[in-house]
Amino acid sequence: MTVITRFAPSPTGNLHVGNIRAALHNWLWARKSGGRFLLRLDDTDLERSRPEYADAIKADLGWLGIHWDGEEKQSGRFALYEEKFEHLKASGRVYPAYETSQELDLRRKVLLGRGLPPVYDRAALSLTPDQIAAYETQGRKPHWRFKLDHGQPIAWTDLIRGDQRFDPKLLSDPVIRRADGSWLYMLPSVIDDIDMAVTHVLRGEDHVSNTATQIQMFAALGAPLPHFAHEALLTGSEGKLSKRLGSLGVAHFREIGLEPIALLALLARLGTSMPIEPVTELQPLIDSFDFAHFGRAPARFDEAELAALNQKIVHMLPYGAVSDRLPEGMDEAGWEAIRPNLETVAQAADWWRIVTGPIEAPAPEEEDCDFLATAREILLDLSFDADIWRTLTGALKDRTGRKGKQLFLPLRRALTGLDHGPDMSQLLPLIGREEALGRLA
């Protein structure tokens, strides 16, 4: 069996971290299994779906390095949905219902007020031809529901949640088609999964009850079931569902200079027993992906943890991986010197200005003026090589008797304008002889 997974976003908005996590996990499982990962744009809502959102979704996945093996749009598959809908109608598994949304809301409130589950009572199945004719005369058009089989429990073994069991009598017959003829999510998704031979459906735990009803749709269409896996939802750092998670998308992460691999490294293992570790390539995440590692507890997304992980990854990146994003003139030696001080690659430009100048150094303390003049005098006579910092400070220590902070801090301030920063033994050779002499003066 060739493993086939899919990511099926609706192009009615931009991707957020929850969407990205679902896409990533489906992609990881397909890659680990040597299978295929499909992108399906669920754009049956023609009024809200936008081409610019579809383009943005694909651009975001591309930036993250999540590449798909096939692409479909539901808006191009309506003829197939119509065919399967007529089949279900002929077999008595879908039926028309004429209640308005206001009438359904009132019934739900009455049931809830009585302490009962708000399950649809199938009143539409009891309509007489005269009642239907009266509704039609009033101009009412029916919406359509899928008729659940109440004969036996719905059961499956979830790859994350284990054995699942639902009593169909406690579920409402789902609406699959609106009165205007447009499709809701449930049935087209099943038809597509069958037609695309999807073997694994991995999604959030908020879809568990949808899966229960969709399992009967697979059966009604005579198709085998895919494997289902429902992962715990993301929560914010405060430990509960956060509206902010719905607004954190690729645009935000790009704006703050995040490495795509950092986001993937975090999301790949959130909610699992695997440690979150810095990586510079995706293969370790692919190799370690396993449904057995997933837990049932909510997965906590913490931006501070992501920033710390990103910093660790930046410190691991070789020059070749970032050279096209570095300021002009920065070579491998410059990257190696500045890298340990970076939180993001974009910050390299700020540090590189310390090398190229000009800098704004604070006025030296009175007791440091003669010391810096001595440093310049010594530097004039030294061979400026890779060991120049060690040689200079050693000679200064012998000449002045200074050591520790008294020795190093005035030099760093004069040469960089800062009290801290990259290792001076790496930085001074990059600054160069003439520039260093000028700053010491």
Q: Which residues contact 432 (CB under 8 A, 6 or more apart)?
A: 384
CA distances from 255 to 248, 258, 340 (A): 11, 8, 21
Q: Can the peptide bond before residue 358 be classed as cis, meaning omega within 30 degrees of 0?
A: yes
- Is 243 assigned a ligand-binding role in the annotation? yes
Q: Which residues contact 78 (CB under 8 A, 6 or more apart)?
A: 183
Give the residues across from 131 on adjacent strands: none
Strand 227-231 relative to strand 200-204, pairing: parallel
Give the residues across from 7 on adjacent strands: 39
Number of other residues whose CB lies within 10 A of the CB of residue 401: 9
Q: Which residue has the tokens 């090398």?
A: 355
- Taking the C-alpha atoms of residue 186 and residue 214, their distance in angstroms, rounded to an integer, is 7
In our burial notation (b when 16+ CB lie closer than 10 A, e otherwise), range 315-324 reads eebeeeebee
Q: Which residues contact 439 (CB under 8 A, 6 or more apart)?
A: 357, 359, 361, 414, 415, 431
Taking phi over 0 as left and psi of -120 to 50 as alpha, with beta for the rest, 84 belongs to: alpha
At residue 116, what are phi and psi to the nearest 5 degrees?
-105, 150
CA angle, 246 then 250 then 253, to 5°: 100
Instruction: Please enumerate, by residue number, every residue annotated as part of a binding site for ATP.
Output: 243
Instruction: Please enumerate, by residue number, every residue annotated as part of a binding site.
Output: 243
